[in-house]
A and B are shown apart, each in its own frame.
Chain A
Amino acid sequence: MSNEIAVKATNLTKTYGEGETEVHALRDVTFDIPKGEFVVLQGASGSGKTTLLNQIGALEPPTSGDVHSNGFNLNGLDDAGRTDYRLKSVGFVFQFYNLVPSLTAYENVELIAELTGSDVPARTTEALESVGLADRMDHFPGQMSGGEQQRVSIARGLVKNPPLMLCDEPTGALDTETGTQVLSLLRDITDGTDRTIVVVTHNTQITTIANRVIDLRDGEIVDTHLNSDPLDPSNVAW
């Protein structure tokens, strides 16, 4: 870990709808995330954690406030700029994997690798090997377990070697054992690097493996605390 800041959010506010249907998903949120940290955004349903993750990932613009991430001022970016930021700087992992069912594991990863530089086959293979799927590369998503599919989606995020990985409920659709394996994998890909991982979860057990835990409630940060000695994911169960 370094002291450099990976993500800096200032007075971030996000509202949906207007008038009677207006919902304040985020209210004046300010925080810093240093590079190399494993950060957990925790909160109940509707607390604003996915909205916050989407703000960091430039998936939608804020209503007000600023987000700086890995050298990008997200507020100043148009659609093409936000796409470029996501391509170069962010790897996403979603709860339901969202793999392309007509592409093999290898091709799902290769699709992103092709967009981000040369040496595509080597990088694709390396990404899949790093998630333990060297022998499942030619399988289609429909032929793989949920855990395997989630590992493919992690490899898809990793193949462009982004400084930031954003994971939205990555274990939400998995059983405990498989979920633990996925967390270990996420932990492994940050250890010894400057890569930052932000994980959204409502599972309090997962907070024990994080360096930093940000608690959200009703769109506000109610607590931020640091774990001086995070647990190894293999010791976590739910």
Chain B
Amino acid sequence: MKLLRLKRKRDVGRQKSQFIAVLVAVVLGVALFAGMFNAYLNLGSSLEGSYERLVMADMTVTNADDGFVDTAMTLDGVSYAIARQQADVPFEIGSHQLLGRVIGMPTDNQPAINMVDIESGTYLDPDDPTGVLLEEHAATGFDLDVGDTFTILGEEVTVVGIAVSPEYLWPARDRQTLFTPPNTFAVAFVDETMLEALPSSLADLQVLVDYKEEVDTETVDSRVESAARAANAADIQTLEDQPSNSTINLEISGLQTMAVALPVLFLVAAGMAIYVVVTRLVYAQRGVIGTLRATGFERRVMSKHYGSFGTSVGLVGAMIGAVLGALMGRGMTAIYTTVFGIPDLVADFHLPTIIISLIFGLVAGGLAAIPPARIVADMAPAEAMRGDAPATGGKRSFLETVIPPLRRAPVRWKMTLRGMGRNKKRSTSMVVGVVLSMTMILAAAGMIDTMLGAFNRQFNEIAIEDASVVFTVPVGDDQVASVEDIFVVDLAEPVLGMRVTIESGTDSFSTLLEGYQRNTQVHGFPDGLPAEGVLVGQAMEGLLGITVGDTVTVEFSDLKVEIRTTIEGFLDEPMATVAYMEEGGLATALNEVDASITSKTLQNPSITTVKARYEPNVDPAVAISELQLVDDVAVVVDATELRQLLEDFQAFFYVFMGMALVFGGAMAFALIFNIISVNVAERANEFATMRANGLSHRKVASMITGETFLLTAIGIIPGLLVGYWAAVAFMGTFSSEQFPIQADLSIWTYILGSVALFVVAGLSLIPAVRAIKRINVGEIVRERSI
């Protein structure tokens, strides 16, 4: 069988370009799988490694009754628990005023849970009470280094070390504020005695709980949660819900979905290309197959030989793809760990991924080669030795049947229409290829569209304030007026913001409740803000199993009270799942359940901010600096900066989406190129005869062009539908309660995606059109006639 292997090698060499195109599709599919899946595994391991080394808390309980730390230690499955204090207080760093976060740490040693990595400098020193560790994002954002100073609550502190914390790998303030603009947030780890001096209303007492290894996390979560509720905890946060962790895990799970979905598209396309090329080879070699069978080659040997064209190209492609994928995986892991600031980089070479990659390639090639191998097995030697396949009966096209006037169209048009039906399997392969490519384009471009659409809605229709101004003193009419009086400000409104848990039956959801003026002009409510009741994010409908008109309990963890109110509506907001009430109604409802809660209580600076809209054409930088000059302002959060932050974050993602678009185009090219090449090769005699009879090569090429574009158009229609469905499913993997985004594709994406596929089809045609131009009419006629 050595000679059959030699024959295979030379046959492949004679159809180099087609097999290379197939190989490229296999390589891309396998490389994408190996690369993305390796990156997914490595990223998970890197994150896990950092958490393990720095003992990331499995549960964080806030403001539970005294002694909860001891209770937690006694719970089954708990390894250890510690208590610490945390407070959001004004920082002044250089010219920036901001609401920073201080976290108390022991000074003699690192804490047992939620340790930090010291990037530079040293850990806290018991003899240096004003020395602090600055979290790495803040150090970078404010360009601070060891030895630099800034103020916390008006007291000067010195940076003794730059720290990486597992809690702030993604620097989110809380679950509702996952994206915090630079220069508006900073975390400092300080001597725990500094927090003990703060008023209890300013500092949260947190209990950090670490679980034993090998326990069922969900069971222990539920056990600790029950105990925390019994201890009147204001907030209970599992590791899964931890803001930084959930943001990173959302990306990791998206990567996992892409790691499987995208390669499957490629391998299906590669399989179809293999099927087309090998089937053509079998028909072209009918005479050879018949002769070899007649001379004694077994049916099994012959079908195995032709099947091996598929498995060989699949295996070779998989080997190249696996190597490229392994390299790509390392690169992607490094990029992801850098973007998310994960201190530990695990870039393992996962053998199972490589083995699965090889199996993917083999299976794609092997399955695709089964139909042509069966044709070989079924071929009768005598019939096969006659060479040409029996003539097939022609028939009018479907379009001519349903649109009778087409029967009177010029023959060349009819030939184009009927050309599509001459080899139905091949035409179907091309249509499916176009559908797959369109799916990939829409899934990738749809993601970009959706994110841009979500940003536009969030910043142009929902959060329509230009700036949020946080004060260090109670916010009353004077503070609102002081903001509104600034020449750059058009209007200002006070806005309440409180941590709440909304409960319905046994379900609950912890979120933020914001109170706005009835006719607020700093937040967009499509149907206005009702005087009574609460509006909640759409995701809560499913999470709590509630509908409009249902009564829910709203528990205010900081105020230690709860109210009963009705659901007045659901809001489709892409960037958060929060709750809204009219501020007057909210104050009244709270006052009814606890007479001590007056509007003065709600002026607490940790509850009330002032949101402002600028005058037209104001430079945000000027506005921020003017607002910061207002007395008692802690921080000004500019909406433009926040939007910029979000767009910068997405830019990293767009690179991957761009790659998917390019790969999608390459896949379409590989498949369409192969199908057209085979089409032209199979019809060489027909075209040569036309050329002999006086048809110019342009006219002949126009027929193939027409067929190709028609098939592309036929594939685009279902492609748009399947692509939309894929984009919806794809976006679903990136959606969460924090980002309840839904696929929102622009009409231009459909149009440009379709145009792109026509362009790819046109490019794929170039070699075929050249081949038609180069047809040696004399040679083809001579070879057939001798």
Residues 16-56 (chain A) with a chain B CB within 8 angstroms:
45-46, 50-51, 54
- Residues A50 and B785 in contact, CB atoms below 8 Å apart: yes
B394, A101: Cβ atoms under 8 Å? yes
Q: Shortest Cβ distance from B784 into chain A, in angstroms?
A: 6
What does the 1/0 interface line of A90-101 toward B look like (CB < 8 Å)?
Answer: 111011101011
Chain B residues near A46: list those with CB within 8 A: 786
**C-alpha spacing A111/B700, complex, angstroms:** 11
Beyond A140-B395, A141-B391, A143-B393, whether A98 also contacts B694 by CB under 8 A is no
Specify which chain B residues have a CB less than 8 angstroms from the CB of A112 in the assembled complex.
Answer: 693-695
Chain B residue at minimum C-beta to C-beta distance from A55: B778
From residue A154, how far is it (CB to closest CB) to chain B in Å? 12
Report if B782 contacts A (CB, 8 A): yes
- B695 near A60 with CB under 8 A, answer no
* Interface-located stretch among A64-72, A78-86, A175-183, A226-234: A78-86
Q: Mark B390-428, 1 if CB is under 8 A from A, else 0.
A: 011111000000000000001110110011011000000
> Which chain A positions have C-beta within 8 A of B699?
115
Q: Does A147 contact B (CB under 8 A)?
A: no
Q: Which residues of B contact A168 (CB under 8 A)?
A: 781, 785
**Cα–Cα, bound, A107→B422 (Å):** 16
Q: A200 contacts B785, CB within 8 Å?
A: yes
Contact yes or no, B785 A156, CB < 8 A: no
Q: Which residues of A contact B388 (CB under 8 A)?
A: 96
B418 touches A59 (CB 8 A): no
Complex Cα distance A104/B393, Å?
Answer: 10
> Is A83 touching B696 in the complex (CB atoms < 8 A)?
yes
Q: Judge whether B393 and A87 touch: CB under 8 Å.
A: no
- The answer to whether A111 touches B412, judged by C-beta atoms less than 8 angstroms apart, is yes
Return the contact of A102 from the options B415, B692, B695, B779 (Cβ within 8 A): B415
Which of B394, B692, B778 lies in contact with A141, CB distance below 8 A? B394
Interface flag for B689 (CB, 8 Å) = yes
* Docked-complex contact B393 and A111, CB < 8 angstroms: no
Residue of A107, A114, A172 with highest tally of chain B CB at under 10 A: A107
Query: Chain B residues with Cβ under 8 A from A98's Cβ?
Result: 685-686, 688-689, 784
Interface string of A157-179 (1 = CB under 8 A from B): 10010000000110010000000
B416 (CB) vs chain A CBs: closest residue: A102
CB distance from B326 to the nearest CB of A (A): 46
User: What's the minimum C-beta distance from B774 to chain A, rounded to whole angstroms?
Assistant: 10
Q: Is there contact, CB below 8 Å, between A60 and B692? A: no
A94 touches B422 (CB 8 A): no
Q: Determine if B781 and A86 form an interchain contact, defined as CB atoms under 8 angstroms apart.
A: no
B685 touches A96 (CB 8 A): yes
B776 interface contact, C-beta 8 A: yes
**CB atoms of B414 and A103 under 8 A apart:** yes
Our pick among A86, A100, A111, A160 for the contact of B692 (Cβ within 8 Å) is: A86
CB-contacts of B669-724 with A (<8 A): 685-686, 688-697, 699
Contact A116 B694 (CB under 8 A): yes
- What residues of chain B lie closer than 8 Å to A157, measured between beta carbons? 693
Q: How many A residues touch the partner, as a band?
A: 35 or more
Judge if B771 is at the interface, Cβ distance under 8 Å: no
A215 contacts chain B at the CB level, 8 A cutoff: no
Min CB gap A157→B, angstroms:
7
Choose among B412, B692, B777, B785 the residue with the greatest number of A CB atoms under 10 Å from its CB: B692
Measured between beta carbons, the chain A residues less than 8 angstroms from B777 are: 54, 59-60
B159 CB to closest chain A CB (Å) equals: 79
A84 near B394 with CB under 8 A, answer no
Option from B694, B697, B784, B785 in Cβ contact (under 8 Å) with A88: B694
Closest to B696 in A: A83
Interface string of B366-405 (1 = CB under 8 A from A): 0000000000000000000000100111110000000000
Whether a CB of chain B sits under 8 angstroms from the CB of A219 is no
How far does the Cβ of B427 sit from chain A's closest Cβ, in whole Å? 12
Q: Is the CB of A96 within 8 A of B784?
A: yes
Tell me the residues in window 140-159 of chain A with beta carbons closer than 8 Å to chain B beta carbons: 140-143, 156-157
Is the CB of A110 closer than 8 A to any CB of chain B?
A: yes
Give every chain B residue within 8 A of A79 (Cβ-Cβ).
697
C-alpha gap A86/B418 in the complex (Å): 26
Contacts of B697 in A (CB 8 A): 79, 83
Question: Do B785 and A103 touch across chains, with their CB atoms under 8 A apart?
Answer: no
Most buried by A among B388, B422, B699, B786: B786
**Neighbouring B residues of A142 by C-beta, 8 Å:** 391-394
Chain B's closest residue to A109 (CB) is: B411
**Which residue of chain B has its CB nearest to the CB of A202?**
B786
B779 touches A60 (CB 8 A): yes
- Complex: A91 Cα to B785 Cα, angstroms: 17
| A107-B411, A110-B411, A142-B392 given; A102·B693 CB < 8 A | no
Asked if A102 contacts B422 (CB within 8 A), the reply is yes
Contact call B411/A103, Cβ cutoff below 8 A: yes
**Cβ–Cβ < 8 Å partners of A143 in chain B:** 393
In the bound complex, CA of A111 to CA of B691 (Å): 12
With A50-B786, A107-B414, A168-B785 in contact, is A101–B694 under 8 Å at CB? no
Query: Which residues from B are CB-within-8-Å of A91?
Result: 693
| B391-A60 in contact (CB<8A) | no
Whether the pair A95, B784 counts as a contact (CB closer than 8 A) is yes
Are A92 and B692 interface neighbours, CB within 8 A? yes
A45 contact set on B, CB distance < 8 A: 786
**Complex alpha-carbon distance, A96 and B776, angstroms:** 17
**Cβ-closest 6 pairs across A and B:** A87-B694, A60-B778, A142-B393, A140-B394, A102-B418, A98-B689
Q: Could you tell me which A residues sit within 8 Å of B by CB distance?
A: 45-46, 50-51, 54, 57, 59-60, 79-80, 83-84, 86-88, 90-92, 94-96, 98, 100-104, 107, 110-112, 114-116, 140-143, 156-157, 160, 168-169, 172, 200
Instruction: Jot down 8 A-B pairs with beta carbons below 8 A, ordered by A.
Output: A83-B697, A87-B695, A98-B689, A102-B422, A103-B415, A112-B695, A116-B694, A141-B394
Known: A60-B776, A88-B694, A101-B391. 18 other contacts (CB 8 A): A45-B786, A50-B781, A51-B778, A59-B781, A60-B777, A60-B778, A83-B697, A90-B692, A94-B692, A98-B784, A101-B394, A102-B421, A103-B411, A111-B411, A111-B415, A116-B694, A140-B394, A157-B693
